[in-house]
Amino acid sequence: MPAINSAINAYLDLATPQMLADSWAMLEQEMRTGHLMFGERLLSTALRPQLVTVQEWEAASRMSSTLVSAFDKAYHAMLADPALRAQVWLTPEEEIIVGYEAGTRLPVPIGRLDCSLIHSESGEPELHLLEYNAESPAAIAYEDGLAAAYLRTPLLHAFQQRYPLRPLWAMPAALQTLLSIYRAWGGRDLPTVAIVDWAGLPTQHEFILFQEYFAQHGIRSLIVTPDAMSYEGGVLYADGVAVDFVYKRILTHELLARYGVEHPIIWAVRDRAVCMMNRFSCKLLHKKASLALLSDEANAHLFNRAEQAAIQRHIPWTRRVEERITLFDGAEVDLAPFIVDNRERLVLKPNDEYGGKGVVLGWDVSAAQWQQAVDEALRHPAVVQLRVPLGCEDFPVVLADGSFAVQPRLVDFDPFIFDASYAGGCLTRLSAGGLLNVTAGGGTTVPTMVVAV
């Protein structure tokens, strides 16, 4: 039995109806008053954090740093080699702006490695990277806020009498990374930050949490839309206020779709008049095809032995969807027919979407629907990925009628990595179905905490 099971079982034993009712009343109030909302929806409807052992978190940290090292090598190799860069399908507009801040020391200041985690009896977890969120990783402030709220509940207080518990705070590392790249850019004092995304998004609450956290550390920030930006005399303005740091939450392909390459942020980045997190060049690694680049046998020479071992162990077999011969389990396969014939164990993903949009789980659709999805993937940039197991654990949850139940939920495990080296904080989503994504309506969020067992 995995060591973590004793802690989970002890937690569930404490989850009496009265304890759940008291804890939920407090947690619900904290979420409503503390901006822990996704639009009008509470961020969490579960009453247990995701629990991992010290050994499991250390393994996840090692995996994160080694894989990010491999991604970093792929990034620099793509910058130097247009043929290699073509493997991730940049658009012509992306090709233009990727070069504006390319070649900097830190390609991805803040990234999120979206993984599956399976507990094991050995204590060494089974970890599989499903996506690398390298452009605008969300939920850093959400997760810290949830952790603080959970820690105040009677249920967590009772549990901590039996098991030492440590939240995985992310906001301090995010702030330190922001200041680090700002100093490297040339900033001297504290930056003035523009948090930029479309108006009316459900994630607006997290922007407010960042704004409040920045203010606590003497940093002024403004939450603005792209339309509120202007660039005059070498200075970028947000709602008329001069800013020298852009926390870009809007995705690059959405910015380009609306404005092309003619936008004040793009001009300011081009002229090095503003520091930005994360840069346009992050797009090279944010594309789903970056996992195919690492996974493909044709690119193994880019990586050292430790990185190759980590890729083989932690990145499921991933390929660009195209007509080609490739290797699967060491044997040559004709890729397109292979995808069609292996629906039950494959996933199709658009190359540049988010929130679960366009993802097709082969085992959830008919053969005819799968064939249609494969035909679409051959026409538009997409990757195919081998199905990997997801963790499934029992959680106390609040049902639609307000009652409580302990039910199984699929679990993901998404560590944040800062400054390409430090793993801190972790997004965990729960789902009763196969798609673990809050944006797509497929789940709820809980904090991740390290427990001593």
* Residue 311 resides in a domain: no
Q: Do residues 232 and 133 both lie within one domain?
A: yes
What pLDDT sits at residue 437?
53
Residue pair 287/89 in contact by the 8 Å Cβ criterion: yes
Region of residue 127 (phi > 0: left; psi between -120 and 50: alpha; otherwise: beta): beta
- Tell me the pLDDT band of 353, cut-offs 50, 70 and 90: confident
Work out the mean pLDDT of the chain and round it to a whole number.
94
Domain end, chosen from 364, 386, 408, is at 386
Expressed as residue numbers, the domain containing 407 is: 4-286+391-451
* Residue 304 resides in a domain: no
Q: Do residues 348 and 440 both lie within one domain?
A: no
What pLDDT sits at residue 434?
60
Q: Do residues 165 and 237 both lie within one domain?
A: yes
The model's pTM = 0.93
Sheet of 50-53: strand order equals 50-53, 448-451, 165-167
Q: Is the pLDDT of residue 440 over 60?
A: no
If you average pLDDT over residues 310-315, what whole number do you get?
97
Rounded to the nearest 10 degrees, the angle between the axes of helix 54-80 and helix 305-314 is 110
Q: Do residues 352 and 435 both lie within one domain?
A: no
* Residue 406 resides in a domain: yes
* Residue 295 resides in a domain: no
Helices (H), 189-251: 204-216
9 Cβ contact list (under 8 Å, min separation 6): none
pLDDT per residue over 89-136, tens digit each?
999 999 999 988 765 667 799 999 999 999 999 999 999 999 999 998
Q: How far apart are CA 237 and CA 194, in angstroms?
A: 9
Q: Do residues 279 and 325 both lie within one domain?
A: no
* Residue 302 resides in a domain: no
Residue pair 416/112 in contact by the 8 Å Cβ criterion: yes
pLDDT per residue over 48-88, tens digit each?
999 999 999 999 999 999 999 999 999 999 999 999 999 99
If you average pLDDT over residues 230-242, what whole number do you get?
98
Closest CA to 134 of 352, 445, 449: 352
SS3 203: coil
* Residue 221 resides in a domain: yes
Q: Do residues 156 and 243 both lie within one domain?
A: yes
What pLDDT sits at residue 443?
73
Beta strand 346-350 with 360-361: parallel, antiparallel or unpaired?
A: antiparallel
Q: How far apart are CA 249 and CA 219, in angstroms?
A: 18
What pLDDT sits at residue 341?
97
pLDDT per residue over 187-208, tens digit each?
999 999 999 999 999 999 999 9
Strands (E), 45-109: 50-53
Q: Do residues 323 and 447 both lie within one domain?
A: no
If you average pLDDT over residues 274-289, what whole number do you get?
94
CATH number at 96 reads: 3.40.50.1760
Helices (H), 271-381: 283-286, 289-295, 305-314, 335-341, 367-379
Q: Do residues 382 and 395 both lie within one domain?
A: no
Q: Do residues 279 and 366 both lie within one domain?
A: no
Domain end, chosen from 360, 386, 412, is at 386
Q: Is the pLDDT of residue 242 over 70?
A: yes
- Residue for token pair 């080609």: 324
pLDDT per residue over 9-41, tens digit each?
999 999 999 999 999 999 999 999 999 999 999
What pLDDT sits at residue 438?
44
Residue pair 410/431 in contact by the 8 Å Cβ criterion: yes
What pLDDT sits at residue 355?
72
Q: Do residues 237 and 161 both lie within one domain?
A: yes
The torsion angles phi and psi of 383, rounded to 5 degrees, stand at -120, 160
For the chain, the domain total comes to: 2
Closest CA to 319 of 290, 340, 341, 342: 290
What pLDDT sits at residue 302?
97
* Residue 276 resides in a domain: yes
Q: How far apart are CA 379 and CA 357, in angstroms?
A: 17
CATH number at 348 reads: 3.30.1490
What pLDDT sits at residue 105?
67
If you average pLDDT over residues 312-323, what whole number do you get?
97
Q: How far is CA 49 from the centre of its chain?
A: 18
The torsion angles phi and psi of 254, rounded to 5 degrees, stand at -75, -40
* Residue 294 resides in a domain: no
Domain end, chosen from 330, 353, 386, is at 386
* Integer CA distances (angstroms), 44 to 49, 127, 202, 234, 444, in order: 10, 24, 14, 44, 5
Q: Do residues 379 and 256 both lie within one domain?
A: no
Q: Give the percent of the chain with pLDDT over 70.
A: 97
Q: Do residues 46 and 125 both lie within one domain?
A: yes
pLDDT per residue over 141-185, tens digit each?
999 999 999 999 999 999 999 999 999 999 999 999 999 999 999
Q: Is the pLDDT of residue 420 over 90?
A: no
Q: How far apart are CA 408 and CA 430, in angstroms?
A: 9
What pLDDT sits at residue 103?
57
Q: Is the pLDDT of residue 228 over 80?
A: yes
